[in-house]
Chain A
Amino acid sequence: MMRSLWTAASGMVGQQFTIDTIANNLANVNTGGFKKSRVDFQDLLYQTLRFAGTPVTAGAEIPTGLQVGHGVRPVATVKIFTQGTFRETDNPLDLVIEGDGFFQILMPDGTVAYTRDGAFKKDSEGRLVTSDGFALEPEIVIPPEAMEVSVASDGTVSVINPGSNEPQTVGQLELARFVNPAGLRNYGRNLFLATAASGQPIVGQPGLDGFGSLAQGFLEISNVQVVEEMVNLILAQRAYDANSKAIQASDDMLNTANNLRR
């Protein structure tokens, strides 16, 4: 039948995928450390009905061929690692990374995951953990008697013990970076996993060698811009509409062809 039916259908499927991605971005507009995604499209294969350069008569050839495309496909969801907005919380265990880098999280299966979400908590043993209870790597243990926890911009964690005015260092936070952060895999729970495409993690001290520095009492929220997502939503919906009109027009043409013989 007509190619245009399938071509337009691929356009509708593609735009549906965009809307799925936008919906996920909007749903996570207030999620700590969330990074927005964008769908990138590519045109599909072309059928060459007539080749350019085919000789028509002696000494003359067709300057351009005739090619018909077959629609579109989503090729990548690109994660965009711009900085999210900061929100002041005054909670001493809320940390943000100003600049590049990820906190390293030790998963229950022993692997390491990465996150920008610095909303840490203490567990029953005083370890710094995520909201899911996964421990920060390297492990930071806050002694039970400690009164005040402070995290320096270079990742030094110190506490004030009762009866002392001298801060006592209890740990050193480290950050990880990747050559290609866009190659990280979304794991959910605000976590990313390293892949072959992201490259091996480079671990270092905050504030040095291009690693971002830490700030205490703030949280990084998502980098989703509602206005931008809304504009993208309108574009995707209108493109979806236009493709459905193409299907209708193709259908009308088939109907016309069917009515050739009464």
Chain B
Amino acid sequence: MIRGLYTGASAMLVYARRQDLLANDLANAQTPGYRTEDAPIRAFPELFIHEELGATRSPRGMAGTGAYLDRSYLRWEPAPIRYTGRELDLAIEGDGFFAVQTPAGVRLTRAGNFVIDAQGRLATPDGYLVLGPEGPVQAGTAQGAALAVTEQGEVLDATTGALLGRIGLVDVPDRQGLVREGSNLFRPTAESGPVVAAAGTIRQGMLEGSATSVVETMVQMIAGLRAYQAAQQAVRAEDEMTGSLIAQIGRVS
């Protein structure tokens, strides 16, 4: 009897948490390089129900005990790339990340909306330096001339053709092991494996958008809301049944 109450409540908690994840996807519908996250709902272990008849136990079947979320998967489908025409917008076509130097160590990002700092180095809008095979990437000419970035990541002075710096794309063996830190950054961990060079190509003047599909997220949100309401009805039904049990069977006279 009461078991069903907890089962319904576990479903409500699951859909409330999924709503948190979906709201974050929607809030980041315009964040460059954003990746959505999927949290599959998992069933609690099932119980095998017996009926005790004196010394013998007669099986009555399986009973589920609810649902929970215990992991979320980053979805690595490519996000749409759009043309911006800005020379410091770089998109990665194919696999790979830009490596970024933060005070806490090297982080990975797909957001290519870069800026140049006062020393002429390529940086994120937060001021973290973009790394290449030879360290921070020089991208500022003393004259501030136009820049050209090749598909292989060479940063050239567009007027003279001189090589200023080199951007290196990196990747990890297992992307599911990356941890999101916010600020469009991913942290490599022991699960993800060490950072290695990647084979993707760079497109200048393009920017990768967010991987959020508003339609898909809205549909999931509606489905989640209805599942939440259905679970609430189940909890109420359990409550009403318990209520009648107490009110009717427990009546003395």
Q: How many residues in A have their beta carbons less than 8 Å from beta carbons of B?
A: 73
Name the residue of chain B whose CB is nearest to the CB of A13.
B27
The residues of B that contact A62 with a CB separation of less than 8 Å are 70-71
Judge whether B62 is part of the interface by a CB distance below 8 angstroms.
Answer: no
The residues of A that contact B126 with a CB separation of less than 8 Å are 42, 75
Q: Which of A45-101 contact B (CB under 8 A)?
A: 45-46, 48, 50, 52-53, 62-72, 75-76, 78, 80, 82, 100
Q: Is the CB of B71 within 8 A of A66?
A: yes
The residues of A that contact B84 with a CB separation of less than 8 Å are 38, 80
Judge whether B39 is part of the interface by a CB distance below 8 angstroms.
Answer: yes
| Given known A-B contacts A11-B28, A43-B184, A2 and B85 have beta carbons under 8 A apart | no
> How far, in Å, is A162 (CB) from chain B's closest CB?
41
Complex-state Cα separation, A65 to B176, whole angstroms? 9
Q: Is the CB of A82 within 8 A of B29?
A: no
Judge whether A189 is part of the interface by a CB distance below 8 angstroms.
Answer: no
Query: Of B120, B184, B217, B221, which contacts A42 at CB under 8 A?
Result: B184
Residues of chain A whose beta carbon lies under 8 Å from any beta carbon of chain B: 2-5, 7-8, 10-11, 14-15, 18, 38, 40-46, 48, 50, 52-53, 62-72, 75-76, 78, 80, 82, 100, 177-183, 196-199, 202, 209-211, 235-236, 238-239, 242-243, 245-246, 249-250, 252-253, 256-257, 259-262
Name the residue of chain A whose CB is nearest to the CB of B192.
A52
Complex-state Cα separation, A69 to B210, whole angstroms? 15
Name the residue of chain A whose CB is nearest to the CB of B177.
A52
The residues of A that contact B116 with a CB separation of less than 8 Å are 179-180, 182-183
Query: For chain A, what secondary structure do more than half of its interface residues adopt (helix, strand, loop), or is it mixed?
Result: mixed
User: Which of B141, B177, B181, B221: most chain A CB closer than 10 A?
Assistant: B221
The residues of A that contact B235 with a CB separation of less than 8 Å are 260
Taking A48-B179, A202-B144 as known contacts, 20 extra A-B pairs with beta carbons closer than 8 A to each other, sorted by chain A number, are: A4-B22, A4-B23, A4-B24, A42-B111, A52-B71, A53-B191, A67-B37, A69-B28, A71-B23, A71-B27, A72-B31, A75-B183, A78-B125, A100-B146, A179-B144, A183-B116, A197-B117, A199-B120, A210-B143, A243-B23
14 pairs, A vs B, C-beta closer than 8 Å:
A2-B20, A4-B16, A11-B26, A40-B32, A45-B181, A52-B177, A70-B24, A180-B115, A180-B144, A211-B143, A246-B19, A253-B19, A260-B239, A261-B239
Q: Is the CB of B85 within 8 A of A65?
A: no
User: Which of A50, A66, A250: most chain B CB closer than 10 A?
Assistant: A66
The residues of B that contact A3 with a CB separation of less than 8 Å are 20, 23
The residues of A that contact B29 with a CB separation of less than 8 Å are 11, 239, 242-243
Complex-state Cα separation, A5 to B224, whole angstroms? 15
Name the residue of chain B whose CB is nearest to the CB of A198.
B118
Q: Is the CB of B143 within 8 A of A209?
A: yes
Listed stretches B49-57, B98-106, B225-233; interface member: B225-233
The residues of A that contact B196 with a CB separation of less than 8 Å are none
Complex-state Cα separation, A230 to B20, whole angstroms? 31
The residues of A that contact B34 with a CB separation of less than 8 Å are 43
Judge whether B140 is part of the interface by a CB distance below 8 angstroms.
Answer: yes
The residues of B that contact A2 with a CB separation of less than 8 Å are 16, 19-20
Q: Is the CB of B72 within 8 A of A65?
A: yes
Judge whether B30 is part of the interface by a CB distance below 8 angstroms.
Answer: yes
The residues of B that contact A211 with a CB separation of less than 8 Å are 143
Judge whether B197 is part of the interface by a CB distance below 8 angstroms.
Answer: no
Q: Is the CB of B31 within 8 A of A41?
A: yes
The residues of B that contact A261 with a CB separation of less than 8 Å are 239
Q: Is the CB of B228 within 8 A of A256?
A: yes
Complex-state Cα separation, A44 to B115, whole angstroms? 20
